[in-house]
Structure 1
């Protein structure tokens, strides 16, 4: 059966994921990760987009990406084709580097937009690779909670949902325990001020 076309419109936002073929590593060292980010910027020069958060795990990636005038398939084809060429050349391999086509979940609500950023930034902690999410060098989290800047992302849209001090409130939102989040959800239910409750 032919693949169903992905929903896209100018300004559409996605949680994009891609995994190594047969769950193999796609990054062996920092040189690989730096190359991926370099190629991401090169793809952006052809097909402009906004990146709100990211995480480069050893065998998969997460990108929270907002399109402008180009379908994500153009962006990801440019990025992953070039990375696969680099990767296979460096490690003397042939064949697919990524497993199937990338995943792209459309983000259509503010609460999902915030939850995606939280999920992405907690990925290394959930995988028990670090004891605190800010200790993982290859995600965008530090730029959200410290004075450190990250040239690959824009933090304005996510932080705009939070009162001042924005970074402190964002950290609280990300690092709340599951029970704390459950209590907030239980109190708010379907209240339209759900996101505001998460920020306080």
Structure 2
């Protein structure tokens, strides 16, 4: 059976997921996480893209990225193939490292982009690994708070949806519940009731 080609166009934004084969671990130690991030940067040099957020969990990864000139399938094939070779060589394994094809959801609105960013950054909290997203070392969340520089990440496109000071408003958004009230005004996201005068 022939697989359907994924929708792609320059400027397409995606939530990408990849899981370890049979839900097994993709990362056993810090070197593994660091290698994946190094390969992510190397891939970006060959096939430029904008990385908005990421989270590397023990047995799966989340990437929120925007393509430029290369299709997402080219980017992910390069990245996952190189990591699989590293992983199998290091641990003396053979066979598939990643379970089937990577997942890719097209992000088609600012609201969806922000929801996905929140979901990605809250993943370690939801899994009970940390109590606060800024305590997890293998995500881009700290870059959004200006707590450390992550060269891979460009948080500004998503932070631009918030009024100043943007990092504090993003953090407030991260702490919000899914049913909290938000409203958009002049292309910015505000929290709370909009007062009609």
TM bin, normalised by shorter chain, reads over 0.9
1:145 Cα deviation (Å)? 1.3
RMSD: 1.9
**SS in structure 2 at match of 1:196:** strand
Match of 1:100 in 2: 100
1:3 offset after TM fit, Å? 1.4
Question: Which residue of the partner structure matches residue 66 of structure 1?
Answer: 66
- Name the count of aligned residue pairs: 193
Deviation of the 1:4 alpha carbon: 1.5
Deviation at 1:51, TM superposition (A): 0.2
Specify the alignment match of 2:158 in structure 1.
158
Rounded Cα–Cα distance in structure 1 between residues aligned with 2:100 and 2:80: 11
- Listed as ranges, the matches of 1:72-83 within 5 Å are 72-83=72-83
What stretches of structure 1 move > 2 A for 4+ residues in a row?
191-200
- 1:182 is the counterpart of 2:179: yes
More helix by share: 1
**Cα separation, partners in 2 of 1:132 and 1:32, compared to 1, 3 Å:** same
State TM-score, norm by structure 1: 0.91
- Contact map agreement 1:163 1:199 (CA 8 A) in 2: no
What aligned pairs does 1:5-154 form with structure 2 within 5 A after superposition? 5-154=5-154
Residue matched to 2:189: 196
Give 5+ residue unaligned stretches, structure 1.
none
Q: Residues of 2 paired with 1:17 and 1:118: CA distance?
A: 15
Given the two structures, how large is their TM-score scaled by the length of structure 2?
0.93
Question: What is the CA distance between 1:197 and its match in structure 2?
Answer: 3.6
Counterpart CA distance in 1 for 2:139 and 2:16 is 14
Give the distance between the partners of 2:127 and 2:59, measured in 1 at CA. 12
C-alpha distance in 2 between matches for 1:84 and 1:60: 13
CA distance in 2 between partners of 1:8 and 1:198 (Å): 33
Deviation at 1:90, TM superposition (A): 0.3
| Residues 170 and 199 in structure 1, CA contact (< 8 A), matched pair in contact too | no
In structure 1, how many angstroms separate the alpha carbons of the residues matched to 2:84 and 2:147?
34
Q: Are the aligned partners of 2:53 and 2:117 in contact in 1 as well (CA < 8 Å)?
A: yes
